[in-house]
Structure 1
Amino acid sequence: MFTGIVEEKGMIKSILKGRNSSRLIVEGDEIFNQIHLGDSVAVNGVCLTVCSFSGNTFEADVMGETLSRSSLGNLKSGSIVNLERAMAADGRFGGHIVSGHIDGTGTIVSLIPDEIATWIKISTAPEIMKYIVEKGSIAIDGVSLTVATVSNDSFQVSLIPHTGKETTLLSKRVGDVVNLENDIIGKYIEKFLVTKNPNQKNESRINMGFLEKNGF
């Protein structure tokens, strides 16, 4: 599990491409403090497993499913990426619950400076937009951010200078693709409330009536 608080910006040193998969060789600095074989590292928000490491680089395999769901297939040698190790049990929970399992991608529509902040507007598909709520949380390329505004097909976040400096988001341009992960809590609630199979009886006592009765 991650929190969406990026530890550092790393670089893609090289990419070994297969027919439907890739192996990334990622260069960093801070994350190599106590890194181990098999550890999870979020690369632009995508949870990857450390297959090998040496010095200040690690290698991670990316399967076809991940390439099709995320923007990792757009990376090239020299690309700068956000890096975060999995949260330690004694760590501070600075962001929100981030699994590193990407729901899909979005496209940057605009980046607008506003004194110290920068407004970023992102458009995405309806199946992702339905989980995005104003003042809720979302992970953009692995960065935990608060949703400021929501429309039918897009949403906006506002970056403070620290977040802009410590992540890759302000290096993006209009039209760039970013990885999106919705707040997992909303997806679980939907699963509990909606029965996917019409022939399957919903045994859960949690429904809209229950929630209203209990003040939700």
Structure 2
Amino acid sequence: MFTGIIEAVGTIESLQPAGGDYRVKVAVNTLDMADVKLGDSIAVNGVCLTVTELYSKGFWADVSLETIRHTCFKDYRADQPVNLEKAMMTTSRLGGHIVSGHVDGVGTIIERHDDARSVRFRVQVPKALLKYIADRGSITIEGVSLTVNGIEDDVFELNIVPHTLAQTVLVHYSAGQSVHLEVDLIARYLERLISKAESTEAPKSDISLEFLAQNGFHRG
């Protein structure tokens, strides 16, 4: 699990075919790797990857075909900057919101404009994800925990403050850029619970008014 608070901006050094899927080599730059071991999780632009090998400047990870199909990784090239966040610890502050690192879909930035010292993005989202996005709710863009400022049709708006802009890859993004989206985890599980409850028939009972009367619980 992650928080959506980016710890460093790294760089894709290579994305190599390997046995039918891919391996990715990530230089972590300023990310502290002292406590990272093989098998640990690191979110790369919001995608949870497992560390399979450590090297002097960062780590290697496997990228499955499932990940390639549902993310922007297929378009990544050497020198691509990426947001990085190590998996949260139970003793850490939850500075953003609960993020799983499982991308729900790919959106497209359709507009960027300055708003005082901040920057506003308008992002077009796949229609299947619209039901999970709420005004003033949480959403993850490229692994960054952000607040939805408004939503109209299939487009929602975000306000990126100067610190977030400076510390993430969003500083480089403009109209036309594809971005990883992860909707609020609670909304996703709540929908599942409600849909299962609605589709499950209540168990039939043999208890009736006649049964209750016969057993002294009811008087007609």
TM score, norm. by length of structure 1: 0.89
The size of the alignment, in residue pairs, is: 202
Match of 2:71 in 1: 70
Shift of 1:173: 2.1
Shift of 1:8: 0.3
Q: 2-side partners of 1:183 and 1:45: how far apart?
A: 13
Match of 1:85 in 2: 86
Whichever residue aligns with residue 170 of structure 2, its letter is L
Whichever residue aligns with residue 73 of structure 1, its letter is K
Match of 1:191 in 2: 192
Give unmatched runs, 5+ long, in structure 1: 204-216
TM score, norm. by length of structure 2: 0.88
Match of 2:42 in 1: 41
RMSD: 1.6
Shift of 1:17: 2.0
Change (3 A) 1:62 1:202: farther
Q: 2-side partners of 1:202 and 1:10: how far apart?
A: 52
Matches within 5 A, 1:40-189: 40-189=41-190
Q: 2-side partners of 1:129 and 1:202: how far apart?
A: 30
Q: Secondary structure at the match of 1:162?
A: helix
Q: 2-side partners of 1:19 and 1:201: how far apart?
A: 46
Which deviations, in whole Å up to 9, do the C-alpha atoms of 1:61-105 show, x marking residues without a partner?
010111111111111100000000000121111000000001010
Whichever residue aligns with residue 38 of structure 2, its letter is L
Q: Secondary structure at the match of 1:144?
A: strand
Change (3 A) 1:202 1:110: farther
Shift of 1:196: 8.9
Change (3 A) 1:126 1:10: same
Q: 1-side partners of 2:33 and 2:57: how far apart?
A: 6
Cα contact 1:32–1:56 (8 A) shared by 2? no
Q: 1-side partners of 2:73 and 2:130: how far apart?
A: 21
Structure with larger Rg: 2
Work out the percentage of aligned pairs sharing the same amino acid. 39
Which deviations, in whole Å up to 9, do the C-alpha atoms of 1:32-72 show, x marking residues without a partner?
13111100000000000000001122000010111111111
Q: Secondary structure at the match of 2:25?
A: strand
